[in-house]
Amino acid sequence: MEAAEDTEFLDAMHAANIKGALVGVESVTPEGLKDVYKEFNAAGDDLVERLRTFRRHGVYVLGSFIFGLPSDRPETFDATALVAAQAEVAFAQFVMLTPYPGTVDFIRWEKNMGASPVKIAGIPITRRWLIPPALRPKVYWPHPSMSAEEVRQRTQSVWDTFYSLKYIWARSGFIKSIRARLAFVLISKIYRQMYADTGIATDSARVSRSARWARWLAKPCQRLFAAPPMPHLKLPEPWSTPTPVEQISPAS
C-alpha cells in the first residue's frame, strides 16, 4: 500500500513491464485494520484514492480483502464490495480469516483451543492443513456476532457481485480491444471459479466441477499474463555464466 505514496516507484514498475501488483488491503474499516495490526493502512476515501493511484501509473491492482475479523459486521461486506468497485481494482480476492502458524492469531487460536482441540478425521483442527480438503471447515476463527455459515455466505455474495458479468465488463473499460476485453472477462470468471467456488463453496460436487473448468481454461489464458521479452536486459557478468558447482545436477 505504501507504494501509492511513491509515484516514481510506480512509474519504474510500469517501465519494467510490471502489469499488476497484489495489494494487501485486508480491511476497509479502521477497526478491521486494527484487528490485523495494519493501522498504518488507509481506510475509506483515502484508501480508494491510493488504490486508484496505481492505475493512474499503469499498474493494475489485485486487491486482497479479509472477512471474518472480530470487528466485521454484516454491513462490512457491502462496504468492502463498494470500495473495491470505487477503487477500480482490476481483480479482487475476498478471503476468510484463517490463522497461519507463526502468527499472533494462530498462537492465540491454539491457546484458546486448550489441550483437547476439536478433531476432524482424527486430526486436531489446529493442524488444519493435514485435514482432507473435503472435510476442512470454511471458517476456523469463531466470530463474536456472526455464525461461520453467515460469514461464508456473505463472503460468497461479495465474490458473486464483484465477478458478475455486469461489473466485470464495466471494469474492462480501460482495455481498448474488444478481443482483449473478452479475454479479461474470461480470466475474471476463471479467477472467481478457482478461488470462490473451490475455496468457499460447501458442495463438494460444485468444488470438483469448478476446479476442473478452471484447469482447462487457465492454460490457454496463461500467455496473456506474460510480458514481451526484454533482450536488452542482461545479468551482471559475475552471475551471467553458471559456475561448475551450479552445473552439477541434483541427481549427480
Record the pTM: 0.77
Q: Put the strands of the sheet holding 20-26 in their side by side order.
A: 20-26, 60-67, 91-96
Look at the chain and report how many structural domains it folds into: 2
Which of 45-59, 91-105, 107-121, 208-222 is predicted least confidently?
208-222
pLDDT of amino acid 138: 81
| Cα angle for residues 176, 214, 22 (degrees, 5° grid) | 60
* Cβ–Cβ < 8 Å for 152, 196: no
Residue 221 shares a structural domain with residue 149: yes
In a domain, 252, yes or no: no
In a domain, 24, yes or no: yes
Classify strands 20-26 and 60-67 as parallel, antiparallel or unpaired.
Answer: parallel
In a domain, 49, yes or no: yes
- Looking at per-residue pLDDT, the higher value among 208 and 131 belongs to 131
Residue 220 shares a structural domain with residue 133: no
Residue 65 shares a structural domain with residue 40: yes
pLDDT of amino acid 48: 92
CATH number at residue 36: 3.30.750.200
Does position 202 have pLDDT exceeding 90, yes or no?
Answer: no
Residue 123 shares a structural domain with residue 158: no
Residue 220 shares a structural domain with residue 240: yes
Does position 163 have pLDDT exceeding 90, yes or no?
Answer: yes
One-letter amino acid at 210 equals: S
Last residue within a domain, chosen from 89, 109, 138: 138
Confidence of residue 197 (pLDDT cuts 50, 70, 90): low
pLDDT of amino acid 217: 64
pLDDT of amino acid 64: 94
Residue 82 shares a structural domain with residue 180: yes
Confidence of residue 7 (pLDDT cuts 50, 70, 90): very high
pLDDT of amino acid 83: 93
Q: How far apart are CA 23 and CA 55, in angstroms?
A: 12
Residue 131 shares a structural domain with residue 151: no
One-letter amino acid at 62 equals: L
CA distances from 147 to 32, 143, 202, 221 (A): 18, 7, 15, 38
Domain hosting 243: range is 2-99+145-247
Buried b / exposed e over 89-99, threshold 16 CB at 10 Å, is bbbbbbebbbb
Longest CA pairwise span in the chain (Å): 61
In a domain, 78, yes or no: yes
- Residues with Cβ within 8 Å of 57's Cβ and at least 6 positions away in sequence, in order, are 7, 10, 11, 13, 14
Which of 29-38, 40-49, 172-181, 230-239 is predicted least confidently?
230-239
Residue 54 shares a structural domain with residue 92: yes
- Looking at per-residue pLDDT, the higher value among 139 and 70 belongs to 70
Does position 242 have pLDDT exceeding 60, yes or no?
Answer: no
Closest CA to 81 of 21, 145, 171: 171
Distance of CA 86 to the CA centre of its chain: 18
Residue 95 shares a structural domain with residue 8: yes
Residue 62 shares a structural domain with residue 122: no
In a domain, 196, yes or no: yes
Residue 106 shares a structural domain with residue 91: no
Q: Give the model confidence (pLDDT) of 130-157 as tens digits.
A: 998 878 888 888 899 999 889 999 999 9
Does position 252 have pLDDT exceeding 50, yes or no?
Answer: no
Residue 70 shares a structural domain with residue 162: yes
